[in-house]
Structure 1
Amino acid sequence: MGLINLLTSNPTAFVIIAAALVLSLTIHEFAHAWTADRLGDPTPRRYGRVTLNPGKHLDPLGTLLLLLVGFGFAKPVPINPMNLGRWGTLWVSAAGPISNLLIALVSALLLKIVPPSDLTLTVLLTVLTVNVVLAIFNLIPIPLLDGSRILGALVPSLGRSLAQFEAMPFSFLLVMGFIFLAQEPIGQLIGTVRGWVLGFVGFV
């Protein structure tokens, strides 16, 4: 279900979830760009991506899909693997999901120490959930996702095959079609991990 349905049924939830997504996607893409920049690749800085400005990271089509169908994407950060090498590419790919896990960890800690109220509880649980979902989803080894690039860095022959696939004209549409068809098992995986995390912090 897309977020747009919440706009009339529960505007407060819409604002909280939308804000959490903007924050989390921005930090996710910034983490990729910052890590590449620190490791010696000037490409993200050249494209203005080493910034926390959401406008530089949000993709219009990806945002629209998020509103309408419940899953979308941000603008991928351009990098040059030749400047990074195998392990640099791995760290750049892992930086996004790691940033989401760190946000989730901070949210979980705040849930333990911040005086409880309905609003703070809702905001922190939403931020925690959104970031767990983003981290787990992006770590799935599907082409174009961070998980496939991490796997490609660990297994160079596979990485070359994945890079060739991603260079195909219709690779994006094929991946989006696969995600759409596989949304039930993907949702079950994410739901299981989300339930485990919420149980761990004492909210299930």
Structure 2
Amino acid sequence: MKLIVFGFLFLWLVPAEPITIERDRERWKPYYTDELPVSIAESWLLPFDLANRKDIRQMKVVSIFDDHRESYLKGHIHTAIDINPVKPKSKHVGIYPMAKGIVCSLHLGENQRTVVIRHKLKNGKTIFTSYKHLKEVYVSNGQQVDQTTKIARLFTRTESKKYGGDYHHLHLEIRKSFDDYGCASWLTMNKKQLNLRFYNPLAFISENI
């Protein structure tokens, strides 16, 4: 009896293995569609419906890239910028692809709904743009899209309150790869992991828009 009790105590005291990108990514693989875009991403625009989608002054940054976060996994690094239009045309802010591509992943739910688009560059390489905190999604996996395709809309401030947080903004990632199938967005814990998979969106926008 003592051995049995000791065994249970031992199991209870052994800490669970930490959640890592390598341990978690297979869980998200079923949501990924491994297909190439039919068109090359030749130009880039801001992801909002604006009078001029190449005018970065019409975009305001709510939160920066490479910032440390306390949400979900304490100390993880912010892999995106959080942005909003300066003067939205409507309380329902529509989200559009930054360039031509294909929807390769729809994952998460509720306040974390995410659309990921794969883009083919002129040099043959691919990159990914990821759009998170979506209230409604209007596209499907494997769908070819261009810059006029409305892929989703954001939360309003009122809708965001339901979740007890600030989700009425776009979490925008520019990704070098998607080998993690999305989980690196909340499991990136150091600069090596960050630089392996992500570009600084502000730098990318400045260089390409």
Question: What is the TM-score normalised by the length of structure 1?
Answer: 0.30
> Normalized per residue, which structure has more helix?
1
> Normalized per residue, which structure has more strand?
2
Highest relative contact order (Cα 8 Å, sep 6+), 1 or 2? 2
